[in-house]
């Protein structure tokens, strides 16, 4: 009887030992698996991921287009009798109630300027070209001065639009063609910088410029 009890006890101890060893092995195996997984994660983070790509994409920015307001070009005062409280007269518009006449403009002569170039754009409609008069020598222009080949008045299809006039004082005629479309959309603020190139230098042909801005609302 004692022998049977002793055999039974030895059997139980042996089972417990096997069970304990199995649990430790399982845990060790599990721990090893976790370590491998962590190592794998560390290794994979060295390669670009979607998040990394997004960060790279955000930090790489496209070159900003050149605009007059970013350039170190002096300005001069430009005025128009047809601009009152920031609103253009109906008479300059190409509408049922308008006369389709170019606005009156005046400015003081700019020292060193041989020519002036005038541009009017609708910045609410892709810089739509409304007035292009290059190689001007006068500094006071009466209303209706520009011909129909150079001027077409505002005609917004709806709502309120911004119409801006730029007058550039130039040392001489530019040596490059200025691509500004008349009665069409323009990359105005980039293309207009061709005015700054003359026969003597790559830049510096624009001495200064004048700028005024007004609105016109459809139906006025």
Per-residue pLDDT tens for 67-99?
Answer: 666 677 899 999 999 999 999 999 999 999 999
pLDDT score of 220 more than 80: yes
Q: What is the pLDDT of residues 13-32, one digit of tens each?
A: 444 444 433 333 333 333 33
As to burial, measured by CB atoms within 10 angstroms (0-12 exposed, 13-18 middle, 19+ buried), residue 143 is middle
**Which pLDDT band holds residue 177 (cuts at 50, 70, 90)?**
confident
CA–CA distance, 104 with 93 (Å, rounded to integer): 13
The confidence score (pLDDT) of residue 80 equals: 98
The confidence score (pLDDT) of residue 48 equals: 35
The confidence score (pLDDT) of residue 69 equals: 64
Let me know: does 102 contact 146? Beta carbons within 8 Å.
yes
Domain residue spans of the chain: 2-59, 68-217
CA–CA distance, 157 with 217 (Å, rounded to integer): 9
CA–CA distance, 169 with 78 (Å, rounded to integer): 12
**Which pLDDT band holds residue 201 (cuts at 50, 70, 90)?**
low
pLDDT score of 206 more than 90: yes
In degrees and rounded to multiples of 5, residue 132 shows phi and psi of -135, 110
Task: Indicate the fold that domain 68-217 takes in CATH.
Answer: Phosphatidylethanolamine-binding Protein (3.90.280)
Q: What is the pLDDT of residues 101-144, one digit of tens each?
A: 999 999 999 999 999 999 999 999 999 999 999 999 999 999 99
Q: How far apart are the first and last CA of the chain?
A: 119
pLDDT exceeding 90 applies to what percent of the chain? 59
pLDDT score of 44 more than 80: no
pLDDT score of 195 more than 60: yes
CA–CA distance, 187 with 180 (Å, rounded to integer): 8
């Amino acid at each position: 009887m004692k022998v049977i009890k002793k055999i039974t006890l030895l059997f139980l101890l042996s089972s417990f030992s096997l069970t304990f060893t199995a649990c430790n092995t399982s845990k060790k195996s599990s721990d090893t698996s976790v370590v491998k997984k962590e190592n794998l994660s560390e290794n994979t983070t060295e390669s670009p991921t979607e998040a990394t790509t997004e960060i790279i994409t955000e930090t790489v920015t496209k070159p900003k287009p050149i605009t007059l307001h970013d350039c170190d070009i002096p300005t001069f005062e430009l005025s128009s009798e047809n601009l009152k409280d920031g609103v253009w007269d109906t008479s300059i518009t190409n509408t049922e109630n308008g006369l389709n006449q170019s606005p009156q403009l005046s400015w003081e002569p700019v020292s060193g300027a041989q020519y002036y170039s005038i541009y009017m754009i609708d910045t609410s409609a892709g810089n739509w070209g409304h007035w292009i008069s290059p190689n001007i020598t006068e500094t006071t222009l009466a209303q209706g001065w520009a011909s129909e080949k150079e001027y077409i008045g505002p005609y917004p299809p709806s709502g309120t639009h911004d119409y801006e006039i730029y007058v550039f004082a130039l040392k001489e005629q530019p040596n490059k063609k200025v691509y500004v479309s008349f009665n069409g959309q323009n990359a105005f603020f980039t293309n207009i910088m061709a005015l700054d190139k003359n026969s003597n230098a790559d830049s510096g042909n624009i001495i200064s410029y004048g700028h005024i801005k007004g609105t016109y609302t459809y139906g006025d």
